[in-house]
Amino acid sequence: MILMTLFFTFFKVGLFSFGGGLAMLPLIQNEIVIKLNWISQGEFLDAIAIAQVTPGPIALNVATYSGYRVYGVLGSLFATLGVVLPSFLICLMLAVMFQKVRGHHAYQSVLEIIKLVAVALIASTAIILSPNSIVDLKGMLIFLAALGLFASERFNPAIIIICSGLVGLLLY
């Protein structure tokens, strides 16, 4: 029963979230931390940290990690399949439909709306996680410096993340 709950929980996350992995995090958090209480807020933050340093999409890595925490290897398999299957099925259907509507103005408008929703979901994740992530002045300074560098668009985001991590290691 728990395996099917894992599958359908992550299937729902995969089905109703747009904008990539970061946009999925608030939905994953709501399901597994708040509603189902499978993992704590601290474990969720750990899952995000681990997911960011491992290869692959962040939401997929968080789903795999969470599934493992709930039900071991089988749990990670069911959670991973659940979060991936909706995207696969939707892409398959859209590939067929795309050929018919790709030049239409309404299609372009829908894509613009989806982009705005994704930005809002990512901002929501930052707001929700920041009280537990930025706990002192040093952390706030690292965050503000990284945010400024991201906003300048002159530096590679990967370099900013690596440098922020190294500064954090040195300071803590």
Q: Give residue 65's pLDDT.
A: 93
Q: How confident is the model at residue 172 (pLDDT cuts 50, 70, 90)?
A: confident
- The pLDDT score that the predictor gives to residue 77 is 97
Smallest CA-to-CA distance from 150 within 141, 140, 161 is with 161
Q: What is the pLDDT of residues 66-107, one digit of tens each?
A: 999 999 999 999 999 999 999 899 889 988 887 787 778 888
> CB within 8 A of 18, min separation 6: which ones?
114, 117, 118, 121
Average pLDDT over residues 23-48: 93
Contact 6, 78 (CB under 8 A): yes
**Cα separation of the two ends of the chain:** 43
In whole angstroms, how far apart are CA 120 and each of 19, 49, 117?
A: 10, 21, 5
The residue-averaged pLDDT of 101-127 equals 82
| 111, pLDDT greater than 90 | no
28 or 119, higher pLDDT:
28
Buried/exposed 61-87: b ≥16 CB within 10 Å, e otherwise: bbbbbbbbbbbeeebbbbbbbbbbebb
